[in-house]
Amino acid sequence: MKVLKFGGTSVGSVENMRSVMQLITDGERKIVVLSAMSGTTNNLVEISELLYQKKLMDAKEAIKKLETKYDSVIETLYASESYKQKGKKHIKEIFDTIKSYTEGEFDQNGENAILAQGELMSTGMFNYLLQENGFKSELIPALDFMRIDAEKMADEKAITEKIKPFIEATSNTDYIITQGFICRNIEGNIDNLQRGGSDYTATLIGAAINSEVVEIWTDIDGFHNNDPRFVENTSKIDQLSFAEAAELAYFGAKILHPSTVLPCREKNIPVRLKNTMNPSDSGTLIDNKPMGRGIKAIAAKDGITAIKVRSHRMLMAYGFLRKIFEIFENFKTPIDMITTSEIAISLTIDNTRYLNDIVPLLEKLGEVEVDSDQTIVCVVGHNIIHEKGFEKKIFKALETVPIRMISFGGSNHNMSILMHSDYKKFSLNALSKELFE
């Protein structure tokens, strides 16, 4: 059985929802994972922020505006009056839930519950659309089987155990619809897999049921060899290994959630990226079969902060690095890049939530420099660490760019270069010209 995931743009309008229906209804049994309609999650974030600020009138107005939008969608999505009434009832129940949070105190649990409503709306509407058109479909609630643990990581064992009864109960159903992104945490409260988490939902489900393939449908025809938002004439990549795709996703390729490939990699389940607007295109296949040598792609990750800790006590000393890493561990702040010298260590983070708490503790160990507005540019290819001469091309392309850090050798598939974000666009274009043209 296949697992297909469709993003917010793919279900972002009545026309797009109908196009997705045409794509999936080939008579082959499958699980379909949907995101919220495009823009809805942003609207729900705005409503949550207004509730945190206790701007209740503004929040109610924003809720009313969003509800009016969905009422309009219902009117055009269904042809029959009976399904229009079903759709309206579904939407009303959702917005009654959202409105209930305008009363009393508002906290993180309330925010997570509100953010979940976008996926609950899109899947309910889409399931009714399939049924109205005579297809055998059933909606299974992701909140009943998607779980994260105390560390906010997917609990794959629990997911596998909990989803099996739903798959068995829908054995006579052609199309099983469920929500991406949303889950329950270890306390049983509604939570989520963070932005882009619908991709992750799809591969977790794929791994849980040993799917033959997981297809991620979006509005672009797969991975490109550079960021098409900043570089012209980029080329689609037909195939990537799981390792290459993971590096690109982590270091900025927006088409894929960074955690997506991990569950399928472990089960050797291929992942294919497809374009909803161009379904005949083969897209990008991600599997365990590395193909081709040399550099495959370039990606960039913004919002990076570089931190340097300099101390003469580091020289010939053991335990210094452990003390630094423990500080970041205690504040649950992941580190991206690391370089060291005899008396200094430089590292990067992309989460500055606890930076003001971290820096004073680092200053007890040495002099601290903090540089914000940095970008990591990442060059990826299969086993490029063993390629000869590609480093020369990279440095030639970036010879006018002030480089803050370089990380090479930690992965066989990646060289990462840190620079000020002002040089990002130039660097992506210069590297593209030198490496691909």
Segment 364-394, tens digit of pLDDT: 999 999 999 999 999 998 878 777 778 899 9
Q: How confident is the model at residue 256 (pLDDT cuts 50, 70, 90)?
A: confident
Are 2-219 and 296-436 in the same CATH fold? no
Model pLDDT, residue 279: 93
Tens-digit pLDDT profile for residues 210-226: 999 999 999 888 999 99
Average pLDDT over residues 244-253: 82
Which of 70-74, 257-261, 388-392 is modeled with the greatest confidence?
Answer: 70-74
| Neighbouring-strand partners of residue 376 | 301, 418
DSSP letters, 116-161, are THHHHHHHHHHHHHHHHTT--EEE--GGGT-BB-TTS-B-HHHHHH
Q: Where does residue 393 rank: exposed (0-12), middle (13-18), buried (19+ CB within 10 A)?
A: middle
How far is the CA of 83 from the CAs of 33, 74, 80, 119, in angstroms?
Answer: 22, 9, 6, 19
Tens-digit pLDDT profile for residues 267-290: 999 999 999 999 999 999 999 887
Q: Given a cut of 70, is residue 356 above it in pLDDT?
A: yes
Model pLDDT, residue 390: 84
Kindly provide the b/e burial profile for residues 244-262, where b requires at least 16 CB atoms within 10 angstroms of the residue's own CB: bbbbbbbbbbebbbbbbbb
Model pLDDT, residue 259: 81
Neighbours of 173 (CB within 10 A): 17
Is the domain 2-219 a CATH 3.40.1160.10 member?
Answer: yes
Which residues, 6 or more positions from 363, have their beta carbon under 8 angstroms from its beta carbon?
A: none
Alpha helices in 78-116 (DSSP H): 81-100, 108-115
Contact 65, 98 (CB under 8 A): no
Which residues, 6 or more positions from 95, have their beta carbon under 8 angstroms from its beta carbon?
A: 63, 66, 67, 70
Give the rounded distance of the alpha carbon of 292 from its chain centre. 27
Model pLDDT, residue 316: 62
Give me the amino acid identity at 331: F
CA 189 to CA 389: how far, in whole Å?
53
DSSP letters, 335-394, are ---EEE-SSEEEEEES--TTHHHHHHHHHTTSEEEEEEEEEEEEEEEETGGG-SSHHHHH
- The residue ranking higher by pLDDT, 218 or 98, is 98
In the chain, domain spans: 2-219, 296-436
Is the domain 296-436 a CATH 1.10.3720.10 member?
Answer: no
Q: Count, in order, helices (H) and strands (E) of the chain.
A: 14, 16
CA 64 to CA 125: how far, in whole Å?
19
